[in-house]
Amino acid sequence: MDGKQWIHGCVLVLTLAMAAHATTFFVNANTGDDSNPGTSPAKPFLTIQKAINQAALRPGSEMIHIAAGQYGENLSICDTDQLTLSGSSGAELVASSASDAIKITSGDISISDLVIADGNKGISADSSAGPVSLSLRDSVVRDNAGDGLNAANVASVSVSQCEFRANGGAAIKVQSAEDLSISHSVLELNTGRGIRADDVEDVSVSNCQILNNNDDGMKVVTKKMNPADASLSVLNTIVSGNYDDGIDLEALGDIRLVNVEIEGTVSDDGLSVDDSASVSVTNCTLSNNAADGLDMDDTPSISVVNVESTGNGDSGFDVTAEDVNIESVSIVNSEFLGNGLDGVWIGEENAVVEQAGLTHVTASNNGESGLDITITGTLRLTAITSEGNGAPDIL
């Protein structure tokens, strides 16, 4: 390549790079005008929707900076590229309840530092016009008539450092997605569940508070997909005061809970697991739930380590082989104290428990037996304390 060709090549690359460079649009509810170019803080748009429409006309990634103020809009986003909506402190989208506050039908969309209120749903997302990925950060979603966030048939949903309060449906509901990640967020006082995930391949919840919702704190289930392809992890999370189950899990693959507190469910279990491949519960506390602290049925591999299950209305830990054989139940370094029924109950209906092992387990001051374990398979007990219970152990 001679010198002129090299220069021409560099000019072409530079031109393409400039064309694809992100444009920043500015919106200001107090000083803006939709007839402005919207590309500088001095001449911003008045409405967020105007900026969204302009961004959709340009190739590449775009940024919309939203100044403090109240925006009475319902937004519609259909973008083929990356689009970021970034609010300032005090930026509020106060929508009409006639439609969703933000409706996304295509694009790789990031939303941050925004209050989203008073819509039908706070945010709805589906891939009706193209692939959708959604990231929501440092935002408040409140007082919407239905779900705070509702996403279906999308690639991924990521929520970080957000608050979902007093929405008329679930705080977060996701159906048919590859990934759902929720971290460092508060989901409180919603009329529906804190989290509902159906047919999501990988669900991760960490460092969250799921409080006082009027249904399950969290429900994760598969309906159409292969349960073995769906995994769940819950880490460093508090689930408290929810009306139904604290966490309700059905037909999943591998389940892992670490450093989770589940307390004070109003009408049902702390943790309920049914028809899943395996569950591991480590360093968790389940207390003062209306029914069982832990209730696990038809799950072949069950491991409980360093768990306290205390003051629950029914049993501290209830395991039943109803229609699927349970290969192994392992309980290590755990306490089951002051529950209304048994400390630990393990039994069979139309299937068998092949092996159960309890090591360094205390089951005391329960309303009925400390241990009530009647299984066909092998039972191994090591370093067990069972005293002060309302009935003798059944082994």
CB 275 within 8 A of CB 324: yes
Which of 150, 209, 217, 221 has its CA nearest to residue 190?
217
Sorting pLDDT into bands at 50, 70 and 90, what band is 21? low
Provide the pLDDT for residue 15: 38
Helix (H), strand (E) at residue 4: helix 3-20
Mean pLDDT for the stretch of residues 216-238? 97
19-215 — its CATH code? 2.160.20.10
Tell me the whole-structure pTM to 2 decimals: 0.94
For the chain, domain boundaries:
19-215, 247-395
Q: Which residues contact 377 (CB under 8 A, 6 or more apart)?
A: 352, 353, 354, 355, 356
Mean pLDDT for the stretch of residues 109-136? 97
**Can you tell me the distance from the alpha carbon of 216 to that of 295, in angstroms, rounded to the nearest whole number?**
15
Query: In the 8-state DSSP scheme, what is residue 74?
Result: -
Mean pLDDT for the stretch of residues 285-306? 98
Number of H helices, E strands in the chain: 2, 30
Lowest mean pLDDT, pick from 18-27, 116-125, 149-158: 18-27
Provide the pLDDT for residue 10: 36
In the numeric block, which tokens belong to residue 199?
């047919």
pLDDT at 3 over 70: no
Q: Which residue is listed with tokens 């290590």?
A: 332
Query: In the 8-state DSSP scheme, what is residue 341?
Result: S
pLDDT at 164 over 80: yes
